[in-house]
Amino acid sequence: AFSSRRRSRKARRSANGATTAAMGTATCIPRSTRRSSPPARGFRRRRPTRSARGKSRLASPGPWVSTRRGMPRGEFASAFFELTERRRPGLSDLVPRRGSFVRRAKPFPLRCVFPFQRCKMRRSVLLGLGLAAVCSAQESPPVATAIPGRIRSTPFLLQPHARPSGPSIELAFLRIRTAAPRPGAPVVWLAGGPGGSGTHDAEGQILPLFLEISQFADVIALDQRGMGRSQPRLDCPGRFDLPLDQPMERDLVLAAFRERAAECREFWSRRGVDLASYNTNESARDIEDLRRALGVPKVALLAGSYGTHLALATIRLFESSVDRAVLFGVQGPDHMERLPRDFQDVLTQIDQLVKRTPLLAERMPSFLGAVQIVLQKLEREPEGAEGVDPATGERRMVTVGKFDLQCFTRYLLASRDQISRLPGLYLAMLRGDFQELASSSLTSRHSSSPPAVDFTMRCSSGASPARREKVRAQLSETVLGIAADFPMPDVCDAWGISPLGPDFRAPISSNVPVLFVSGTLDAHTPPSNAKEVLAGFPNGRSLLVEGGAHCLLGFSLPKGRKLATRFLKGDSVSTARLSTPAFGFLIPGIARESAIAAEFGRALRTPQGYLGFPQ
């Protein structure tokens, strides 16, 4: 079974099940579960050893992996993703992020095995980076295992469209090949952010959706220009170092953002990088170049958050190249600057949920009232509390104020898990406990600089005069005020990025079939965004997720994945609403378990506290 040297090259390819495509910086090789399958040419045989728990593991690094015992013969079990860090002169020391693209004597190869069906799933570290989710690592389950391997790939190089004679860039992507005899248009995943990595997202909760789609079409997780494993990756040097003995104020923090922007702009300017070429229209042209490189007439788009902004720009510029699209958390052409009223509406919904939760209602008759009381208290007299330094683990005293809490609240409105903590945290602050706020503020004040693309993409998209006037009018009417979209747009002049023309922000009209997915608890990309964009898509459909927040919207639910898969396959989708599991609030340390059970029969105990559900 291992005498591959005696076989012809054609026979080895046939036995191996698939050949490696040399199109991207990552390829997927489906393998059958037959343990007798010979390795491909250049692959070395490795004998599995036994760990203390009796499960097979790899004895030495190498590219060939035998499948787990007990798998049926011929069952499609695994997909092998081959990733690479191509060494190019001058690029290895441009990106200072820990564990990735650092100067080495040799390239650091790594292969990641994404298990299918019965294969065991474990937490992984891929190319030295932590497990990444679509929105944040806080909600990522263990889904993949990374092991050393050999690299076989070809880069996907592009010329900047604005300057064809300028230096080339390199885009990275993962491709999951389908076994379908008549595959549909390849589905390209566009991550959010800006600054998110599609290849990292493939390790998180979106992977099950990728696998379902791969039953009828290839799935391509793209790292957009300046992001993820694409080169150059526009990370910024330096860190914030804001004082701890005074509360954060808008002007103080904005000055720090401007300083970091000037430093990062100078850093990349010295290396010949034109930050103005990193905008949404340029990325849309990258997708068209990717389609041509793949040799397919059309691609389908799957996107979330900022990725929907890019997907809509792609549909506008290259409508004939897009088969269909599914957009989670819609950000239209003129939705880049967030409205404070959208955050206020979600806080109002939380207030209604709190009133229907007996455990909270008797202690907090009005959640919105509690928010205003704590904000006014911190505005009059900032509080000092101990926070935990994430770098050292030491407890340090931090002075927090109103702006600290406004930014902290905006952060917590990103996901259901964090929203479930919000009333309990305000209840603690009403009692004088500001430790959670102090720890969050301490982390923010000593955090690393955000990536440059987070600002170049947003600043170049800009906002129409009507949108900007609407933002100004809502600042004084909402509790979060300017914190809803801070530090945008005030930091854009420090980056030297001019907004694209007004045509970029004009409404889009297209016959491309699009499924717009929105969540009722999504303050960042509210349902009103989808309703506005849907007006220009006669073949569009809208899906509202009840209780859905911004992160992991829709595709974390089996029903949501099924509807998205059906739509991408070309089937009709008539469902207009989708319910999520019962929403509960974490209420730490307010009563003993026996008292909770007597007071409210459906209360559950968790490691963080008690979980109360609205009635």
What Cα–Cα distance (Å) separates residue 278 from each residue in 86, 281, 438?
22, 8, 35
pLDDT tens digit sequence for 133-166 = 335 334 333 233 322 222 223 345 555 566 666 6
pLDDT tens digit sequence for 570-612 = 998 887 898 888 778 888 765 433 333 333 334 444 555 555 6
Its CATH class, for the domain covering 4-234+278-328, is alpha beta
CB-CB contact of 528 with 342 (8 Å): yes
3-state secondary structure of 541: strand
Who contacts 53 (Cβ-Cβ below 8 Å, separation ≥6)? none
Q: What radius of gyration, in Å, describes the C-alpha atoms of the chain?
A: 25
Phi, psi (5° rounding) for residue 189? -90, 130
% of the chain residues with pLDDT over 70: 68
Query: Which residue carries 């860190």 as its tokens?
Result: 239
pLDDT tens digit sequence for 56-97 = 232 222 222 222 222 222 222 222 233 333 323 222 222 222
* Nearest one of 223, 321, 206, 322 to 565, comparing CA atoms: 206
Distance CA 560, CA 580 (A): 10
CA atoms within 13 A on the CB side of 522: 28
pLDDT at 162: 61
3-state secondary structure of 501: coil
> DSSP character for 231?
B
Distance CA 26, CA 569 (A): 24
Structure token pair of residue 270: 């010295």
3-state secondary structure of 488: coil
pLDDT at 435: 94
| Average pLDDT, integer, range 524-545 | 97
User: Is residue 482 over pLDDT 60?
Assistant: yes
As a 3-state breakdown, the chain gives helix, strand, coil percent values, each rounded to 5, of 35, 15, 50
CB-CB contact of 220 with 197 (8 Å): no
pLDDT band for position 45 (cuts 50, 70, 90): very low
Q: Please state whether the peptide bond connecting residue 499 to the residue before it is cis, i.e. omega within 30 degrees of 0.
A: no
Comparing 55-69, 144-158, 249-263, 428-442, the range with the smallest average pLDDT is 55-69
CB-CB contact of 266 with 486 (8 Å): no
pLDDT band for position 360 (cuts 50, 70, 90): confident
Q: Give strand pairing partners of 328.
A: 304, 517
pLDDT band for position 15 (cuts 50, 70, 90): very low
> DSSP character for 205?
T
H or E stretch covering 172: strand 169-176
Distance CA 279, CA 302 (A): 19
pLDDT band for position 542 (cuts 50, 70, 90): very high
Domain ranges of the chain: 4-234+278-328, 235-272+337-500
Query: Which residue carries 């079939």 as its tokens?
Result: 513
Task: Say if residue 581 is exposed, middle or buried (CB neighbours under 10 Å; 0-12, 13-18, 19+).
Answer: exposed
Q: Give strand pairing partners of 29.
A: 80
H or E stretch covering 530: helix 527-534
Mean predicted lDDT score pLDDT of the chain: 75
Who contacts 507 (Cβ-Cβ below 8 Å, separation ≥6)? 332, 333, 532, 533, 535, 536
| Average pLDDT, integer, range 398-410 | 97
What Cα–Cα distance (Å) separates residue 391 from each residue in 260, 387, 435, 563?
20, 12, 17, 42
